[in-house]
Chains A and B, each alone.
Chain A
């Protein structure tokens, strides 16, 4: 018994140690380096970097970009979520799919799509005049343009989390309120307030993701912190300055996470889902239903379908696709391979960390939770720079020069998807099942293999898929950590953007959009086959 207990503790301890090795150690080394300047210890990098007006201009730009992107995504996402969750508006499923598509697409691809529409030689310029094209191009390559791209890119986060929160509201409360007032007041006083913690959480997440986004602001030449960090590091290889430049952002992330965890704690008091026993009632839109549906579909067409269609218009030619595929076959394979390995690692490590967190196996389980969320929320440029600073030594050259450094970077950034997704799965069934097996003499690994894994397989699969998609759409880690000659599709596309053919770049962006569809399709087919045979 004691030996088995040790096996369990050893495995969970090793998992926590691995998390510290891939996440905490590089960040600590990076921060330590930032206090060394010209061979002496001091705060020169901080004084040099944060003592300049430019640093605070960048900070304000980042805050403005994140705030406006969140507000726009909120203004669209929450009303659409209410319409989908609480009405019988036609085409609800199609609308959900349309608004969720951007989660599969790297934000810089959306920016490229908008460039095909609003750029100097874009569609607007062609159908109007070059002067209009210049005006729309200047607008796109500025804060409003970046807000348009990022609010669309992160709209699915607000929409899907708001949908989940709204559907989680106990319908009996709404029914009781309906006895006294109409739907507008029920929404205002009951539904929205009860769903508010989930909605707030989605806002915090979108704010942090928009603040840490590198690809789209970099493409749109917007000076924000992640781009500055990347430039400081890539152009000057000054890790100390890059770290100093990222400190204000890390503080914002920490504050955001504290707010997020508080909201989640508050949220747990409100949700009392009555399950299948009570069928939720829907708001009747009456004769306005088709009009509402049409308006929402038009919004989806303008915001999401238009940039994708522009890319198809530009890049979907035999010559461009052929050229893109000829150039990028290797990168496509590497992208799938890296994302597959990283997703599997995250699922495995995430399972053990989720178990430790869910079953409170460590006294400091909250630290693990906090660290994974922190790693998820900080910009990829920070994780990438930290990995290079830590592993670029003769002793660890084998790691630094191999794809392992990128895979570890992915694992560090996205481990939260594994831990939190799988923890939610583990929470769905009682620990007594495992305890019963333990009393019957089953060892811990056997219990994991025969009880915990099968019961949480949906959560594990979902975590794997989500991690896989996030790794495929990642740009900053791919650019910083891809090994020579074995880069990802994102890194290839972004290094081709200097003087590359716009048709081929559009074709590469189209391939990037289609890439995450492959595992989803395979997964869907596999599920169907298994269900059919069962």
Chain B
């Protein structure tokens, strides 16, 4: 009996010591808290590099597939009066701008982002864009029809042969907001109706869309450039088509990552330091080489081999700040369209 008690007692002391040790380590170390919408597999190595280079511990919260890149943004909104994060790393600027509109973020213009074109930054510094994705078509190599424009979705020749990700989540929401902004609400609603009439398949996300095209179940899908490059690198029979590049067409949508400083965050100085790190040319180079194959916005940083450099693409002229407001305005329309 004594032995059992001794064992239990020693185990308890061991557990107590372990807890104390972990507690002390965390308490002693400088930290920065960041909420991340970018896929963890790509963002975590960057944050680990920052930890290694600066000695500041990064406490991160990542979105899950189910939350579709909106989970941490909504978490930040709900924590407006009880802020826990210092930074928000969004995988597109529209939701970062929603935080500006809701008074969750605070302005900061990082010095490392001076060479990034102004159209990819909030004029007041509420968010700064870096490393972008392009919204483009993946097309199966055996497809009979090659789309050229987003409007190809409503072309009768493509009836039942195309797929698009659920527009309530992820970058497809931003795409819809951009189309509604460029075309106006009436044409946007007509486009949505045409998608239904043309039996466009609704997938759970861009990754699934790309897979459905790669297996030949569908001919084409509008996805992010990283989804396309990933399938190409895995040897899938797909090719990239850049939509709306012709005369009079609006161009393709570019969605940079965006980073925002959170108002009232617990470690603002470390937050600013991490923000400088994220928007640096070095981080853009890493993200271009990584599996996410993102397009650098700094001049002189090489893009991934599979994607054209940004200056060779006709890009959609959008104000990302307006897209944030548009996104909120059209959410009921999208919800109704999807059947939520």
Contact = CB atoms under 8 A, between A and B. Distances in A.
B322 interface: no
A134 B78 contact: no
Contacts of B41: 496, 498-501
A318 to B, nearest CB: 20
A401 B83 CA distance: 10
Interface in A482-534: 482-487, 494-501, 526, 529-530, 533-534
Interface string A98-137: 0000000000000000000000100000000010001000
Given A54-B340, A333-B22, A499-B207, A394 B66 contact: no
B60 A485 contact: yes
Interface in B320-340: 339-340
Classify chain A's interface size: 35 or more
Interface string A329-359: 0000100010011000000000000000000
A530 B39 CA distance: 49
B145 interface: no
Contact of A494 (B18, B64, B74, B77): B64
A497 B65 contact: yes
Interface in B15-42: 15, 18-19, 22, 31, 33-35, 39-42
Given A392-B82, A498-B207, A130 B215 contact: yes
Nearest to A457: B4
B67 interface: yes
A496 B215 contact: no
B78 A392 contact: yes
B79 A484 contact: no
B146 interface: no
Contacts of B160: none
Contact of A400 (B77, B84, B339): B84
B339 to A, nearest CB: 6
A484 B60 contact: yes
A338 to B, nearest CB: 11
Given A401-B84, A499-B230, A526-B7, A234 B71 contact: yes
Contacts of A401: 84
Given A237-B74, A530-B4, A400 B207 contact: no
Contact of A498 (B18, B39, B58, B60): B39
B81 interface: yes
Contacts of B291: 499
B4 A120 contact: no
Contacts of B59: 483-486
A235 B62 CA distance: 13
Contact of B82 (A400, A485, A498): A400
Contacts of B31: 485
A393 interface: yes
A108 B82 CA distance: 33
Contacts of A400: 82, 84
Interface string A369-394: 00000000000000000001000111
Contacts of B35: 484
A393 B64 contact: no
Interface residues of B, number: 52
Contacts of A221: 204
B196 to A, nearest CB: 16
A479 interface: yes
Nearest to B65: A498
Contact of A534 (B3, B77, B85, B339): B3
Nearest to B70: A235
B169 interface: yes
Contacts of A388: 78
A120 B216 CA distance: 13
A495 B15 contact: no
Contacts of B39: 498-499
Given A235-B68, A235-B70, A401-B84, A530 B3 contact: yes
B67 A231 contact: yes
Contact of B19 (A337, A394, A501): A337
Contacts of A526: 4, 7
A393 B41 CA distance: 31
B316 interface: no
A218 interface: yes
Contact of A337 (B18, B58, B215): B18
Nearest to A344: B15
Contact of A234 (B22, B66, B77, B230): B66
Interface in B78-131: 78-79, 81-82, 84-85
A470 interface: no
Contacts of A494: 64-65
A485 B58 contact: yes
B40 A500 contact: yes
B79 A392 contact: yes
A236 interface: yes
Nearest to B3: A533
Interface string A311-337: 000000000000000010000010001
B211 interface: yes
Contacts of B207: 498-499
A397 interface: yes
A392 B81 CA distance: 9
A230 interface: yes
A529 B64 contact: no
Contacts of B204: 221
A230 B66 contact: yes
A118 to B, nearest CB: 15
B57 interface: yes
A227 interface: yes
Interface in B47-75: 57-68, 70-71, 74-75
Nearest to B217: A134
B164 interface: no
Of A235, A237, A401, A486, chain B has the most CB atoms within 10 Å of the CB of A235
List the 7 closest pairs (A to B, CB-CB), nearest first: A485-B59, A237-B74, A234-B67, A484-B59, A234-B71, A495-B62, A498-B65
26 contacts: A54-B340, A134-B215, A221-B204, A231-B66, A235-B66, A235-B67, A237-B78, A327-B44, A397-B82, A397-B84, A482-B61, A484-B34, A484-B60, A484-B61, A485-B58, A486-B59, A487-B61, A494-B64, A494-B65, A495-B40, A497-B65, A499-B41, A499-B207, A499-B291, A501-B41, A533-B3
Interface of B: 1, 3-4, 7, 15, 18-19, 22, 31, 33-35, 39-42, 44, 57-68, 70-71, 74-75, 77-79, 81-82, 84-85, 168-169, 204, 207, 211, 215, 217, 230, 291-292, 339-340
Interface of A: 52-54, 120, 130, 134, 218, 221, 227, 230-231, 234-237, 327, 333, 337, 340-341, 388, 392-394, 397, 400-401, 479, 482-487, 494-501, 526, 529-530, 533-534
Given A397-B82, A400-B82, A534-B1, 15 more contacts: A134-B217, A234-B70, A235-B66, A235-B67, A237-B71, A337-B19, A394-B82, A484-B61, A484-B85, A487-B61, A495-B62, A498-B64, A498-B207, A499-B42, A529-B3
